[in-house]
Structures are given as C-alpha cells and as structure tokens.
Amino acid sequence: MSEQDEVVDLPRDPPTGSVGTRLRQAREARGMSIDSVGRAIKLAPRQVEAIEADDFNSLLSPTYVRGFIRNYAALIGLDAQTLLGSLDQQHVRATPQLIEQANVGVAMPVQSARRKWLLPLLAMSVPVLAGLALYVWFEFWPADVPVAGQTDTSRIDPSPLDGPASADATEGVRFDVADSSVSDVLPPPVELSSDAASDAIVRTTPPEAVAAAAPGQHRLEFTFSTDSWVEIRDASDAILLSDLNRSGSTRTVNATFPVSLVIGNARSVTLKVDGQPHDLAPSIKVDVARLRLE
C-alpha cells in the first residue's frame, strides 16, 4: 500500500496558523513527504517548501499561488475556500491580467493596392496630358489661318508684272496676292458648282499670269486637291504667305531662297519648284509637311 493510500487519522481540531503552516501540518499528519506532494500536484519540491513557508513572493504570481494552494488543499483533504480566504487576509490576491487577443474575428481596414497607387498615377498623368495637349496645339494647329469674312493681311514680295510697268516702279513694293489691286492680272473667280458652298470662291493663279522669276528668285507652284493651308517664311522668319487654299485651286509664288514651308493636308498638295516636281512625302508628319528650300 502506497503513502497516498494509507488511512491516517487527522486531528479533530482543524490546523491553525498561516496557510502554509496548515498545509504543512496536514501533510505531516498524513505522513506525506514534500517530494510526494510535488509529484502529485506537479510542483517542484522547492515550490512546495515555499508554500509551506508562506514565501509566496518566490513563486510566479498571486494567481498561480492560489491555484497551487487549491490543488494542495484538495490533495490532503482541506477546505480550499477557507485557505484562500485566509490567503486574502495575507494580501495574496489574484490580479487581473490583460491578455492581448491575437485575432478577434474583426478585420482592420486595409488600403487596397489599387487605391494606394491611384493618387500617384493621377498626379503623374497631369503633366503628361498637359504636355501632349501643348504638342498637339503647336504641331498641328495652324497659326494665322484667315477666318471667313476677314481680309488676308499676308503679303509677299511681288515679281515684276508683264505690262508697261517697269521693274524699277515695282521694286520694294509688297502686296496681297488676293488683293483687288492686282485683279487685272488674275483671272476672274471661278464659281463653284451647285454642289459646293454657295459663296465659296476658288482663286486660281495660272502660271502664265505670274511673271517670270527675277534673278535669285524661284517659282513655287502649288496644286490643291483638298482645302489646304500654306505658310511661307523667308530667311528672317518673316511671313511671306499664310493662306487657306480651296480644293481645286492652284497657287504660284516667286520667292527668294531660303524659305521655310508649312503645308497642311500635304498629301493632297502637289509642289513644283521652277517647274520640277518636289516630293513632299519625306517632310510629311501626320499630314503636315514642314520643309526648308535652300
């Protein structure tokens, strides 16, 4: 028969003294050793000795001390609640412990990856869109395009005209090629067919109506199969011609090289320089030709 199975008569009077003293007296009355008690309630012998000596500060915490005493009292047959009441009088009380819960089932709001990158992308797209708009404006929007009903103020250097006027009389004079002052050398306007706009005028300058190029000048002949805008600038970047030419018209200009040309709807324009065809295709970008004739 083992030590725990032995029947021991306990004293009729309950143990007195501190909690540790009562436990020790009850253990000794049952004839149990410290080691056997430690094995039974899963404590080390030094922990059992600390309980019996009321050295609770050497144990883990008041909460664990109360658990140890409850198990010890149940082992040796004492009233655990009575012992715990006495333990409270010794100011060994359990303290609440705050335990952080790792997961309570509530997901915290997390910023999505899509929303995280949305604002930087919008901020980066603003200068890109602005630059694209400026590029389209300066690259393809024609400057100085005459508005219907306005007088064309673009002027070019005239060539000596056939007739009684001498070259000296016309030297240094600048005039508008569509002005009424030179209507005597231009053929009358050709009326469009009834399918065209009612008031549209096609101004066609036949090559024979323009005098031969003066020394140092070259003849530029334009033929337009669709409405096309032409701008000509001289070496000083002064505008010699800036005009919208109607479909089916031609334009002949004498100019001193070098000159810079900007031609809208260039794929529908044929250019001859001194009677020789000039290929515009290499100079065309998005149907606008930009070239310099030397």
- CA separation for the pair 239, 102 (Å, rounded): 79
Task: Let me know if residue 103 belongs to a domain.
Answer: no
Let me know if residue 115 belongs to a domain. no
- What pLDDT score does 124 carry? 84
For 40, the enclosing helix (H) or strand (E) is helix 34-41
Q: What's the total number of domains in the chain?
A: 2
Among residues 89, 118, 144, which one ends one of the domains? 89
Which of residues 89, 115, 140 is at a domain's end? 89
Check if the beta carbon of residue 217 is closer than 8 Å to that of residue 256: yes
Instruction: Give the chain's count of helices (H) and strands (E).
Output: 7, 11
Domain that includes residue 228, residue range: 167-293
| Residue 141, domain member (yes or no) | no
The answer to whether residue 43 is domain-embedded is: yes
- DSSP summary character for residue 57: G
Residue range 172-184: average pLDDT?
Answer: 40
Report if residue 275 sits inside a domain.
Answer: yes
Please tell me the predicted confidence (pLDDT) of residue 18: 87
- pLDDT higher at 128 or 92: 128
pTM equals 0.33
Residue 38 has pLDDT above 50, yes or no: yes
pLDDT exceeds cutoff 70 at 145: no
Question: Does residue 136 form part of some domain?
Answer: no
Q: Is the domain of 67 the same as that of 178?
A: no
Which of these three, 53, 74, 89, is where a domain ends? 89
Residue 188 lies in a domain: yes
Q: Could you read off the pLDDT of 234-281 as tens digits, one per residue?
A: 999 999 999 999 999 999 999 999 999 999 999 999 999 999 999 999
290 has a pLDDT exceeding 80? yes
Rounded Cα distance, 65 and 61, in Å: 6
Whether residue 262 contacts residue 243, with contact meaning beta carbons closer than 8 Å, is answered with: no
106 found inside a domain? no
Which CATH number characterizes residue 78's domain?
A: 1.10.260.40
Cβ 260 vs Cβ 286: under 8 Å: no
